[in-house]
Amino acid sequence: MSGATVSSEERYSVFPFYICLDVSASMAGAPIDGVNEQLPLLRARVGEDPAVAEVIRLAVVTFSDVAHSLLPLSDLSLVEAIPRVSTQGRTSYAAAFERLREMIEEDYLKGRAHGDRWYRPAVIFISDGRPTDEPERWRAAHQRLVEPTWKRRPNILAFGFGEADPEVLAAVTEAKPNRAFIAGPGTEPAKIVPELLTGLIQSIVNSSASVYEGDARLQLPEVPSMTAIPVDHLD
Amino acid sequence: MGDSPPVFGRPSEASIREPMLRARGGAATAAVRAEGASTGWWTLRAASVVGVRHRLAGQAADDSFAWAHDGSRVAVAVADGIGSVSGAGRAAERAAVAAVESALRARPEDAVAAANEAAKGGGATTLVLAVLTGAGQADLVRVGDSSAFVVEAEGAWRELFPPPDEERSGTDTAALPSPEPPVEAASVGLSGGAVLVLATDGVTDPWRDGPTTVAPALVAGILGRPAPLELAALADFSRHGCHDDRTILCVWGRPEGPAR
């Protein structure tokens, strides 16, 4: 018999990750080919390790003019294949942030109904360009995503290359230190994308282990071609 | 680490995988540690098992437990090293030992100060400490998310510290050493065969999260006054996504005094 204040529902802890990927036209060619080569490796690496797969849930969101859920939040051990990505359109950060907010809230409520207990979700934001929407619009959408009163607000890591703007990426990560990264000048996207996704795979695996270390947190990936964008420490 | 751990709720496939043998090891860091013995006043059972995650990675547990008694009074502690900090397991051991030693001479709050001092030198740890008198009174303090329960003889149970926020999103926890440890206190009178249970979050989280599976199984097992190895086997249960180190320490009192 349990105490009067204890829930009678069974709960299982999960750590949700949302990879938010720029698929605007400028990503065509080597960058998107790299994504399509690496995502199956991510599925294999995470999905085939039960100690990781039992905890990690992964979603892939793509954005250009609009944002789509390429892979709904999933247990990767149950996913047979991640759909291939194709490029189109411009770079609407607003569409990405709006879709993320909707998905996270929907996934949380759905998960709760199935007995999931969530650790704070992580968003991994990857872009090769500046936002093409009006600054007011993407900033408002971003503000809703990171609103302090919203309990599901995610931790965000941002990675940029090509035409991505370091100041914008720093804003996406709320100017938190070591959350926004940019590729060095002249670094080929064909080199960066595989390196970045390989680093992210290890980051996700390491993050799943941190669940048991008293401070579940997003572990930073190692991406040698990228450096942290310096920001003021606001915390 | 049996081939067929008890399954409470959805099974964990990871829990039945063969562990990776650590490159170095020894008795002090063995995957299973257990103790069970009595004085005239008290019966103690304690078990600590390495979690699935550490087991598969070939790593030792970061949990620890300790006890000290001076006849009628017994001090017991459980500590959970914060694994992201190097030396966590050793910090947990130092803090637990210092806490119980100090608690026989000083107030529980002062014992936390001793544990805080002992935790310095690398690593960080939670701590829950209980001091029990021969009359069945238990005074407890804790820092961090290790916790304590009372299990009554008829099977009812309650947690002695506030449980985590149902809506919490992270696992951040207070820990020692700290300039000003956030100490929580509780007290309880044990009577009628009630059992005091201290445990790390590897046990307490699934206990709370499994009210129809883990909780009744652990309560039934505890009330059966298990042998130390039976308690270890019970703590080594399989549950989907539950891969943390697990430590559980149980104390039964004999309020009428030592048996003749």
* Contacts with A, B 22-41, CB within 8 Å: none
Question: What average pLDDT does this structure show over B211-234?
Answer: 97
Q: What is the 3-state secondary structure (H, E, C) of chain B?
A: CCCCCCECCCCCHHHHCCCCCCCCCCHHHCCEEEEEEECCCEEEEEEEECCHHHHHCCCCCCEEEEEEECCCCEEEEEEEECCCCCCHHHHHHHHHHHHHHHHCCCCHHHHHHHHHHHHCCCCCECEEEEEECCCCEEEEEEECCCEEEEECCCCCEEECCCCCCCCCCCCCCCCECCCCCCCEEEEEECCCCCEEEEECHHHHHHHHHCCCCHHHHHHHHHHCCCCHHHHHHHHCCECCCCCCCEEEEEEEECCCCCCC
Q: For A44-53, A224-233, B102-111, which range has the lowest pLDDT when averaged over its residues?
A: A224-233
Q: Which of A51, A151, A214 sits opposite B80 (nearest CB)?
A: A214
How far, in Å, CA of A209 to CA of B240, rounded?
15
Most confidently modeled of A117-121, A227-231, B112-116? B112-116
Structure confidence at residue A234 (pLDDT): 38
Q: State CA B79 to chain mean position distance.
A: 7
Measured between CA atoms, the residue of chain A closest to residue B56 is A51
Over residues A93-108, the pLDDT tens digits come to 999 999 999 999 999 9
Structure confidence at residue A204 (pLDDT): 84
Structure confidence at residue A3 (pLDDT): 45
Q: Residue B210 is part of which domain span?
A: 32-163+174-253
Domain range summary for chain A, segments of one domain joined by +: 13-228
Would residue B92 count as lying in a domain?
yes
How far, in Å, CA of B234 to CA of B241, rounded?
17
Structure confidence at residue B216 (pLDDT): 97
Q: Are the Cβ atoms of B83 and A120 closer than 8 angstroms?
A: no
- Tokens 């149980």, residue located: B250
B13 touches chain A (CB under 8 A): yes
Structure confidence at residue B71 (pLDDT): 82
Q: What is the CATH number of the domain that holds B136?
A: 3.60.40.10
Six token digits for residue A203:
């980051």
Percent of chain A with pLDDT over 70: 91
Over residues B177-191, the pLDDT tens digits come to 999 999 999 999 998
User: Which chain A residues are within 8 Å of B123, Cβ to Cβ?
Assistant: none
To the nearest 10 degrees (0 to 180), the angle between helices A135-145 and A93-113 is 20
How far, in Å, CA of A20 to CA of A104, rounded?
12
Average per-residue pLDDT for chain B: 91
Q: Are the Cβ atoms of B10 and A119 closer than 8 angstroms?
A: no
Six token digits for residue B48:
């600590």
- Tokens 């009812």, residue located: B156
- Does A171 or A189 have the greater pLDDT score? A171
How many structural domains does chain B have?
A: 1
Backbone angles phi, psi at A92, to 5 degrees: -90, 100
By 3-state DSSP, what share of chain A in percent is helix, strand and coil, each rounded to 5? 40, 20, 40
Question: CA end-to-end span of chain B, whole Å?
Answer: 38
How far CA B15 is from CA of B51, B75, B146, in Å, comes to 9, 33, 22
* Contacts with A, B 200-239, CB within 8 Å: 201-202, 205, 208-213, 215, 239
Q: Is the ipTM of this complex over 0.90?
A: no
Structure confidence at residue A233 (pLDDT): 41
Over residues A127-169, the pLDDT tens digits come to 999 999 999 999 999 999 999 999 899 999 999 998 999 999 9
How far, in Å, CA of A97 to CA of A104, rounded?
10
How far, in Å, CA of A196 to CA of B123, rounded?
31
Give the mutation candidate from A6, A210, A212 for the B interface (greatest B CB count, under 10 A).
Answer: A212
Q: Do the Cβ atoms of A131 and A91 come closer than 8 Å?
A: yes
Q: Are the Cβ atoms of A214 and B173 closer than 8 angstroms?
A: yes
Q: Coil, helix or strand for A9?
A: coil
Six token digits for residue B260:
């003749």
User: Which chain B residues are within 8 Å of A55, Cβ to Cβ?
Assistant: 241, 243
Q: Do the Cβ atoms of A92 and A68 come closer than 8 Å?
A: no
Q: Which of B171, B213, B241 sits opposite A215 (nearest CB)?
A: B171
- Tokens 């914060």, residue located: B82
CATH number assigned to the domain covering A13-228: 3.40.50.410
Q: Which sign, positive or negative, has the C-alpha torsion B239, B242, B248, B252?
A: negative
Would residue B2 count as lying in a domain?
no
Would residue B118 count as lying in a domain?
yes
Six token digits for residue B252:
């039964």
Over residues B1-47, the pLDDT tens digits come to 446 899 999 999 999 999 989 888 899 889 999 999 998 889 999 99
Structure confidence at residue A222 (pLDDT): 81
Over residues B135-190, the pLDDT tens digits come to 889 999 999 999 999 999 999 999 999 998 765 555 568 899 999 999 999 999 99
Q: Are the Cβ atoms of B211 and A9 closer than 8 angstroms?
A: yes
Nearest to B138 by CA among B73, B224, B43: B73
Six token digits for residue B38:
């009595």
Q: Coil, helix or strand for A126?
A: strand
Please check the confidence at residue B211 and state whether its pLDDT lies above 80: yes
Min CA distance, A48 vs chain B (Å)? 10
Structure confidence at residue B260 (pLDDT): 52
- DSSP one-letter string for A34-67: HHHHHHHHHHHHHHT-HHHHTTEEEEEEEESSSE
Structure confidence at residue A1 (pLDDT): 42
Measured between CA atoms, the residue of chain B closest to residue A115 is B209
User: Which chain B residues are within 8 Å of A11, Cβ to Cβ?
Assistant: 208-210
Please check the confidence at residue A219 and state whether its pLDDT lies above 80: no
Q: Are the Cβ atoms of A55 and B167 closer than 8 angstroms?
A: no
Would residue B6 count as lying in a domain?
no
- Does A163 or A4 have the greater pLDDT score? A163
User: Which chain A residues are within 8 Å of B242, Cβ to Cβ?
Assistant: 13
